[in-house]
Amino acid sequence: MPVRFRDCLVAMAFALTAIVYPASADDKAAAAVASSDNGKFFDAEGSPTFQIKEDGTVDWYTYSGYRRFNSECNVCHGADGAGSSFAPVLADSLKTMPYGDFIAIVAEGRKNMTGGKENVMPAFGNNKNVYCYLDDIYVYLRARAVGDLPRGRPAKKEDKPEAAKEQETSCMGG
Ligand code: HEC
């Protein structure tokens, strides 16, 4: 049947595209610090990133993200993003997930009904304890995914930058 044959070709084309263009992977080189602004670090593309010094000292935002993640997200995604029986291992997800996708999923949530099970990622776009710290959570998970940051509370951290205090006051108060 001609229609089936065409459908078959379309499916093959999709499969080939997936092979030729795999999801771009994040890694240490891509996450390397290219610029900084008041203790906040950015990669070459301008996305937020982490800084871990040789003695293990992490930047303030990575530490803050550790604390926020482990109070708002760990109940489903497991302590330190290690995953659970019903929510993905975010320390793996962020090996391939671009910054913009992460922000969109956390703000808007996601519902997955495949296989007869309902998997719901709640929307956090109205939760200040999350959205005022979205970049912090992102850089923490990025450090877990590609920066060799071990599980648990980072032993050493930079002091909280003035810019972080100001941003927090205006976001939490506004
Ligand atoms: C009530 C449980 C729950 C909470 C709390 C929760 N999540 Fe999720 N999250 C899920 C589930 C379930 C999925 C998978 C949804 C799907 O299959 O599409 C998910 C998916 C995600 C994804 C996509 C992962 C991937 O591999 O595609 C990201 C990113 C994410 N969550 C981040 C967060 C962050 C950050 C927080 C804390 C601010 C958080 N989640 C809190 C349940 C939760």
Supply the residue whose CA is at minimum distance from atom 8 of ligand 1.
121
Say if ligand 1 is within 6 A of residue 108 CB. Answer: no
pLDDT at 140 exceeding the cut of 50: yes
Q: Is 93 in the pocket of ligand 1 (CB under 6 A)?
A: yes
Tell which atom from ligand 1 comes closest to the C-alpha of 69. Answer: 37
Nearest ligand 1 atom, CA 111: 18
pLDDT in tens, 11-31: 555 454 444 445 579 999 999
Cβ(143)–Cβ(149) below 8 Å: yes
- Higher-pLDDT residue of 169, 4: 169
Nearest CA to ligand 1 atom 39: 73
Pocket of ligand 1 contains residue 110 by CB under 6 Å: yes
The pLDDT confidence band at residue 117, using thresholds 50, 70 and 90, is: confident
- Which residue lies with its CA nearest to atom 34 of ligand 1? 73
C-beta separation of 28 from 89 below 8 A: no
What local confidence, expressed as pLDDT, does residue 17 receive? 47
- How far apart CA 33 and CA 5 sit, in angstroms, is 50
- pLDDT 10s digits, 38-95: 999 999 999 999 999 999 999 999 999 999 999 999 999 999 999 999 899 999 999 9
CA–chain centroid gap for 143, Å, is 9
Ligand 1 center from residue 13 Cα (angstroms): 31
> What pLDDT is recorded for position 161?
97
Residue 116, sorted as left (phi over 0), alpha (psi -120 to 50) or beta, turns out to be left
Query: How many A from CA of 87 to the centre of ligand 1?
Result: 6
